[in-house]
Amino acid sequence: MSSSGFAPRVGPGALAVIFTSQRTAGDDGYAQTAEEMVRLAAQQDGFLGAESARGADGFGLTVSYWRDEAAIRAWREHGDHLAAQAAGKARWYRAYRARICRVEREYGSEG
């Protein structure tokens, strides 16, 4: 995932994890871990792509796409990711919300 990059077509039936968060003030190790998690997620079986943006106000959205529930579960339970999730809850996110959705269709400027 690049912060300026589109995810590829994922196809109907893929799962989208919409993760919305409001950051606390200051970096506090967040940027480095976020980069590591992006790199690590992309190596997981069943990862299809991700898109992410965060505004100057600290409010951000990341959508990651996965082949199936098993892939989402494996990533959620990955050791390094568990540690990052714990730090996120404790320090980096003032609030967050996650929604798991199934892709029905997609289209874009490239057709």
Binding residues for a copy of itself, rule: CB under 8 A, are 3-7, 10, 15-16, 18, 20, 22, 51-61, 63, 89, 93, 95-110
* Beta carbons of 50 and 65 less than 8 angstroms apart: yes
Please, what is the minimum distance in Å from the beta carbon of residue 21 to a copy of itself?
9
CA 47: distance to chain centroid? 11
CB of 97 to a copy of itself, least distance (A): 4
Which residue number, 10 or 74, has a Cβ lying nearer to a copy of itself?
10
